[in-house]
Amino acid sequence: MGRTPKERGICELYQTDPERADALIFGRKAHADRRGFLRGAGLAAMSAVVGAAIPFHRNMPAGLIPAALAEETSEFTIAGKEGLRVLNDRPVNAETPAHLLDDDITPVTRHFIRNNGIPPSDIDPEKWTLTIDGFVDNPMELSIADLRERFDVVTLALQLECGGNGRAAFNPPASGNQWTVGAIGNSEWTGVRLRDVLKAAGVKPEAVFTAHDGADQHLSGNPEKDAVSRGMPMWKAMNPETLIAFEQNGRSIHHMNGAPLRLVAPGWPGSTSQKWLTGIRLRDQVHDGQKMGPRSYRTPRYPVAPGEKVPDSAFQIIESMPVKSLITYPKSGYTLPVDHRTVEVRGHAWAGDEHVTEMHVTTDFGRTWQKAELEDPPNPHAWQRWRARLQFPTKGYYEVWARATDNKGRMQPFTVNWNPKGYLNNSMHRIAIRVEV
């Protein structure tokens, strides 16, 4: 008896062999230069699937899933959040669709959720305390009221991004939450500078690294295990934008985003920004807590082949996140109104500890690029607004790709090198647009 054929979605089919998927679905084959291969029945098939003619089809790379087919549409609801997509419910992890991230300041309701354990149930800010100890002259235990009264309170727009944002695009697949592009947010965080608190405690010369403790529980329920305990070098802890935060957008932090107290170490993997913060220890060595090694939030020191086995000794800790951008308007799949051939495309760009200096967009699959208008950030470590007015030559299916360049000349790539944990995917974001007339 023959086996029942397995049904596979288009993304899964393209993951295993993108060029074969092209042949199976659209009947197209790649030429040596990977261009000029869509013609006849293959071109007609793809045009039918995306719902329009494709004016720049000759420029489409082989094995490219049209953006119109690569979008996720399922949504879920969680208290105090709206429109997020759940990726995991134990622990809760949820991302925000790109078109819901159009605000310059990300609303609390739309800020992504990345948990490692079980959030605490008792988060009374009146009873919450923070311990500062380790290699300090004066160990301290501080209430949130103490933080407000003893140190300067500041409010900054700061971008936080999960180190695995974009993991879903890696092939072969990497383990972990399959984030697409929405594990990023740029809220206004109110709190005190971590450096002010550490200076008050008296940093000893031996201190080289922080270690963070939180009130969340390990998924096993074992009180002897930490859900996550990461840290950062002292120079990052002393950065003026690294905060101990107690407010998000002028009100209490959302429970799933770390209320009532959390770290915000912008520009670095979000796991560095401990939620439900209860303690900061200064250490005389790189912290070795939960999620600090040997592969957690680490990437190989050198390029590796997809699927290659990499020894633990080859991994290094991720620090600053790479340059990246997001198209937030229009939503992918947008159809221009009748008799319209122009549209404003906009979004945000950021670059870890650096800043973005240029933005470009293309509508012809990368053959030509148009410079976009780029705004300065309101403060360091905030994302930057960009916009461009695009004109389309004729009716049909188009893709808009966005590409950011940082102050060190590093530019977003179309694709990134594979790594075993699926970190640091800063490939260009793209959306689908259709022009009817």
Q: Quick one: tokens of 72?
A: 């996720």
pLDDT tens by residue, 109-140: 999 999 999 999 899 999 999 999 999 999 99
pLDDT tens by residue, 179-233: 999 999 999 999 999 999 999 999 999 999 999 999 999 999 899 999 999 999 9
Do 186 and 129 fall within a single domain?
yes
Cα 132 to the chain's mean position, in Å?
A: 30
Do 259 and 216 fall within a single domain?
yes
Q: How many CA atoms lie within 13 A of 56 on its CB side?
A: 21
Distance CA 133, CA 430 (A): 46
Domain's final residue, options 317, 343, 360 = 317
Establish if 360 belongs to a structural domain: no
Angle separating helix axes 40-50 and 18-26, nearest 10 degrees = 90
Name which residue leads in pLDDT, 40 or 331. Answer: 331
Range of the domain at 37: 10-65
pLDDT, mean of residues 350-358? 98
Do 116 and 150 fall within a single domain?
yes
| Tally of structural domains, the chain | 2
Distance CA 46, CA 58 (A): 13
Q: Quick one: tokens of 89?
A: 């419910």
> Given a cut of 50, is residue 30 above it in pLDDT?
no
pLDDT recorded at residue 73:
43
> Given a cut of 50, is residue 358 above it in pLDDT?
yes
Check which CATH number belongs to the domain holding 303 and give it. Answer: 3.90.420.10
Do 238 and 198 fall within a single domain?
yes
Do 20 and 149 fall within a single domain?
no
Confidence of residue 89 (pLDDT cuts 50, 70, 90): confident
State the SS3 of 180-227.
Answer: CCCCEEEEEEEEEEHHHHHHHHCECCCCCEEEEEECCECCCCCCCCEC
SS3 141: strand
Name which residue leads in pLDDT, 35 or 295. Answer: 295
> Given a cut of 50, is residue 298 above it in pLDDT?
yes
pLDDT recorded at residue 7:
41
pLDDT recorded at residue 47:
67
pTM for the whole structure: 0.86
pLDDT recorded at residue 190:
98
Residues 6 or more apart from 76 whose CB is under 8 A from it?
A: 84, 85, 86, 94
Q: What is the mean pLDDT of the chain?
A: 90
Q: Tell me if the bond preceding 97 is cis, omega within 30° of 0.
A: no
pLDDT tens by residue, 386-411: 999 999 999 999 999 999 999 999 99
pLDDT recorded at residue 198:
98
> Given a cut of 80, is residue 367 above it in pLDDT?
yes
> Given a cut of 60, is residue 336 above it in pLDDT?
yes
Distance CA 332, CA 430 (A): 8
Q: Which amino acid is at 73?
A: T
pLDDT tens by residue, 277-290: 999 999 999 999 99
Establish if 122 belongs to a structural domain: yes
Q: Is 326 exposed, middle or buried (0-12, 13-18, 19+ CB in 10 A)?
A: buried
Establish if 330 belongs to a structural domain: no
Establish if 420 belongs to a structural domain: no
* CA 409, 415, 417, 418 torsion-angle sign: positive
Distance CA 349, CA 412 (A): 11
Do 101 and 50 fall within a single domain?
no
- Least Cα distance to 114 among 209, 232, 230 occurs for 230
Among residues of the chain, what percentage have pLDDT more than 90? 78
Establish if 38 belongs to a structural domain: yes
Least confident of 26-35, 65-74, 418-427: 26-35
Confidence of residue 62 (pLDDT cuts 50, 70, 90): confident
Confidence of residue 250 (pLDDT cuts 50, 70, 90): very high
Domain's final residue, options 300, 317, 334 = 317
> Given a cut of 60, is residue 251 above it in pLDDT?
yes
Confidence of residue 60 (pLDDT cuts 50, 70, 90): confident
Cβ atoms within 10 Å, residue 363:
22
Do 57 and 194 fall within a single domain?
no
pLDDT tens by residue, 410-432: 999 999 999 999 999 999 999 99
Do 26 and 136 fall within a single domain?
no
Do 97 and 29 fall within a single domain?
no
Do 182 and 280 fall within a single domain?
yes
Name which residue leads in pLDDT, 8 or 395. Answer: 395
Domain's final residue, options 271, 290, 317 = 317
Distance CA 122, CA 216 (A): 10
Distance CA 50, CA 108 (A): 34
Do 24 and 169 fall within a single domain?
no
- How far CA 54 is from CA of 39, 58, 125, 283, 364, in Å, comes to 11, 9, 56, 58, 10
> Given a cut of 50, is residue 8 above it in pLDDT?
no
Do 56 and 89 fall within a single domain?
no
Distance CA 242, CA 265 (A): 5
Backbone angles phi, psi at 44, to 5 degrees: -65, -40
Residues 6 or more apart from 200 whose CB is under 8 A from it?
A: 138, 140, 150, 151
Least confident of 50-64, 91-105, 172-186, 305-319: 50-64
Confidence of residue 98 (pLDDT cuts 50, 70, 90): very high
> Given a cut of 80, is residue 39 above it in pLDDT?
no
Q: How many CA atoms lie within 13 A of 149 on its CB side?
A: 5
DSSP for 381-420 reads: T--EEEEEEEE-SSSEEEEEEEEEEETTS-B--SS----T
Establish if 326 belongs to a structural domain: no
